[in-house]
Amino acid sequence: MNFDKEFDETDLVDVEDVPIFKASEQEMEQFLKDLYGYCVRLHNHIKAYPYLGFTHEEQTELFTYLIKNSSEPQYCLLRTITVARAINKDDDPSGNAVAEAFSEMESLKAYVKLLKVMTYKDLLVRSAAEYLYMDGLTVNEITDELIAEKFLDEYSEDEDSLLDNHRKRIRRYISSFKDFDVIVDDPKAEN
């Protein structure tokens, strides 16, 4: 699950399936580590920040922000696994946090299924829209920016405006985002 290979924007997103716990083959702690690693790999794959031109520092900042604030299943699961491992210091995780992790895995499986019907271009547009939304832009501003940056075409081959369709698409993406705390530089903090 990586972008090391070239892909066509019209290719469907190719992500690995969510790991399955096999009690006879692995300890719970190892499974939680594997699941955590899967969630990080999924983030790296579907956000595609390097393809959007983000620096390593920006990617790290966004990842940290999403872990703390996003309602997407992979981030919820990362938070839950962190809590489960912290609560169970004796390396024998059990109880509510682990049960919650297994419950959240079902949401993650459904989410991954939805990702697999998207194209890589859809993924890039969604990721860029999410970043711009977190930065405080409106649907119209996001759409205008994505057109200006050539992520979206302004006109169809028949010279019809695609603006309304793009705005509906961006509005649909944004409605699936959690009510993010908008990232805004605090001018008071600089004084």
- Say what percent of the chain tops pLDDT 70: 85
> Per-residue pLDDT averaged across 57-70, rounded?
88
pLDDT given for residue 171 in this prediction: 92
Confidence band for 3, pLDDT divided at 50, 70 and 90: very low
pLDDT given for residue 168 in this prediction: 95
Cα separation, 153 vs 150, whole angstroms = 6
**Would you give the DSSP letter of residue 155?**
B
Name which of 123, 117, 145, 119 is nearest 133 in CA terms: 145
Highest mean pLDDT among 44-53, 74-83, 85-94: 74-83
Confidence band for 139, pLDDT divided at 50, 70 and 90: very high
pLDDT given for residue 180 in this prediction: 52
Cβ–Cβ under 8 Å, residues 171 and 123:
no
Distances in Å between the alpha carbon of 121 and those of 43, 78, 118, 186? 16, 26, 8, 33
CA 147 to chain centre: 22
Confidence band for 7, pLDDT divided at 50, 70 and 90: low
pLDDT one-digit tens code per residue, 140-178? 999 999 999 888 999 888 878 899 999 999 998 888 775
Look at the block and give the residue holding tokens 């309304």.
164
What rounded mean pLDDT belongs to the chain? 83
pLDDT one-digit tens code per residue, 87-123? 765 554 456 777 888 889 999 999 999 999 999 889 8
Asked whether residue 189 carries a pLDDT value surpassing 60, the answer given is no
pLDDT given for residue 4 in this prediction: 42
pLDDT given for residue 191 in this prediction: 41
Asked whether residue 84 carries a pLDDT value surpassing 90, the answer given is no
Confidence band for 10, pLDDT divided at 50, 70 and 90: confident
Q: What is the pTM of this model?
A: 0.79
The alpha helices in the chain, defined as continuous H runs, are 28-47, 56-69, 73-87, 96-115, 120-134, 139-148, 163-175
Contacts of 102 (CB under 8 A, 6+ apart): 21
Cα separation, 76 vs 104, whole angstroms = 7
Contacts of 73 (CB under 8 A, 6+ apart): 104, 107, 108, 110, 111
